[in-house]
Structure 1
């Protein structure tokens, strides 16, 4: 062997060693007909074939059946021959039958005289990159959806606050009117109809606030098993008799921390949704068990013990498109006039404010499962925490001197009339500054009731000013929704709008009694 030939072999050997060392790319040669003539370690790594298994085989076996049927392998070699290169991306098939997303380049190999000797083929596995791109797109979509829901929440929260003020005026004006005029069969039923319509509006407003997570919740320790058992009779009367209700409650279940009334309403909403999904009857299963979430960076809930309450039906289920929109406010499949589309949104708002999460799974023709994840608590429920407004209905009628503060004149006039109807002396002002001026002049009051959402100085800011200067002054903050952090009001009584005469009477009795 002459020196020139030895040098050529050495060069080819170095080239072969270099190609075999590359594991991120499949680099191999094809003969003129497309049969594999060489095979490197990269090709073996992500295609799965050893060199002795694949050399001599046609490269079309790497293509999907649909690409083979479309004669893509032949077109790839033809284009490489005529155009000087073939390059594209697509699905390819591994030895085990699994698919991967590949970037493919095929270049013709020619002799010095231009004769076609074969092809050099380079394939790169882009599956991970494609999956990462898909995950990024999904995250972008989720972020957009979250921002959209947050924007809608802010809008509905503000609208609901204004509605609460208006509804309070209507409701209580109707109630005062009914108390002050004698019964008239032509008038009294109309007053009651107006009051009932306003109450329905108030219920709708509460759902809006729940969706926007701006309702003021009374978080307390709740026995979930007791809550479900306590609702059983109501559910039996509310659902179609063809629907069988089954309970599967683990024992014992720890307490959870949420708003008892709102949680019952949420479960009722889910049961009604399940009923509507089973027009021909079926089974409604309410299941509750504990679940401890270990540490995991991808989970949305903090590490803790949770009580999972699932409401499952055997109804029509939801397809993926409907399921993806199920949490959206005002989205409903029940038809015009048959649903507000706020049921699941309200439930989601409650669970979010309770520190938990709402999860939904559904299969068309099989049914839907909605699970409420609520953090467990070691706190014990104390019945003393619950103030019975009904018991206070017949409380003291001793006159109190009340300073009433609200920037909405309609609300101010109505609330003043309500307090006066209860026998109290009322001084009504339209701003926090006017209230402070009266107090600084030495005026004394048994109680200050102030709206929170006021310009220049909010009710919470007024409360701080009053408590700083007159620490023994009883103060109640009235609000249409939870506009402030709970820590800000832990030592402050609150009154939720729209309030009525009974609630107002109970509040004054509680404050004066405490």
Structure 2
């Protein structure tokens, strides 16, 4: 009987590479493949069970990599020759593998036809010579087709392309980069480190080879393991970990970014680490916090200016010494109150405090001069600047308000500071008139810009559809003609709605709106609004629930316009089905419009009913809800938004109108 072929176990986490290698080894007739596995834990069990002559071991694998498994393999199978098979072309890692007891190291860039011979070379000389003497003379060309039940190999005729995917990348920039870099196995053992990383760790690059990076994270090893699991088990593409590095006497704050390098099937091959020194940034952030604290203390100490913060709804949330001196309120007395207390009765009735906040949101900042009132009722001439404040996400979070007492100026209108009455017409300063004119000009410019933007689309559709019908009528079939005519009809309706909204907004702005109010049944108006929008949204479900005996004292046309805007808003910004309902009580009809969307973003709610406010980037004049509220108030009612709650999953728009 002839000598039995040496046995071999192949451990490789990539099924296609494992299938290719085992197939070529069997075809070589030089080895008997007795086992296959995909990670270090399987390698230990197969080595113990089969006691193979050779164990071909991948370096980077999930659960347990090759470096971790090697000592245990040699313990349970001391006569087995372990050969690493890796895409890492590094002398340091090869040397480290030999130090740990490996018999050899084969790079995956090695031509596939040479792998069997390389493995044979690590066996005792008699066994390898015996096998070579009986080696059959035959071609080892890989047969095209499925290998080992896996997908077809790469187009390269000899299958080498499959292995080329497992070669280490980034070589050209790796060593010279100023940022710390390393390649690691899937379980975090360092395979290769660049000089920048070694400098951060206060060692040589070769000292890091084979080290579990989790040991270098200054107590953040569990977070490091969790980051690896996110990348290798959960399919993550990026993970970050901040930790301390370097000598304890001079620690550096670093940000470790981990990214998996995958093959064409999406399987992770190894982990790429990038390490950035964030120490200077953290020092700068600490200094910024200290600077902000110093600024806060400075603001609180200023006595010549009232400097304070307002919440988005206008309530006072902070108060400095200057504000207490100028306005007479202590922080305990004023914080939580609305800032309208600083204005006279006439200004409060006209809604001027709310107007200046709207203007600050719209333009970023609003400045004016005028009379303001102290706690004791006396007034003073003030120069005021209100600035809208947004956070880093662009969300409006409040206002800063700076007020200076300018009562001592010589150009202040008559009777300044001599009484408690509101200013008369002859006391309006030239500064106020100029500010009003500038604001009106800005409003008109914004209005024209919005009008031009919103009318452009339906005009283009009308023009294009009409031209197509005029020049290609005979070429179009009846269905195509009907579709273009329907497009023209919808665009014309859209232009009509836009024109109506803009004319109404202009009328409201000029305070020339005239209402023709009378006893008006409410249910027919709700049904009419539903039918109108059902025609343009045939697939949307719109329901109406209103008692037929509810009558309101209203201008039917204007109320219909407000209702149409509410329903259109629900369909455009929300999601069907839409439910319209009305109830009567306490002398008021309460009309609600609820859609099935996710509700209004909390960042948009404070300015929801403002002119030109819109939560979308893809269109809308921002006039619809503004008109709803203004028409409701002109009738003696109001309009507002009720956010979602546990018993009401969707937000609701509410319109109130006095009963007849």
Common fold: TM-score over 0.5 = no
Q: Name which one, 1 or 2, has greater alpha-carbon Rg.
A: 2
The TM-score range, normalised by the shorter chain, is 0.3 to 0.5
Report 1 or 2 for greater relative contact order, CA contacts < 8 Å, sequence distance ≥ 6: 1
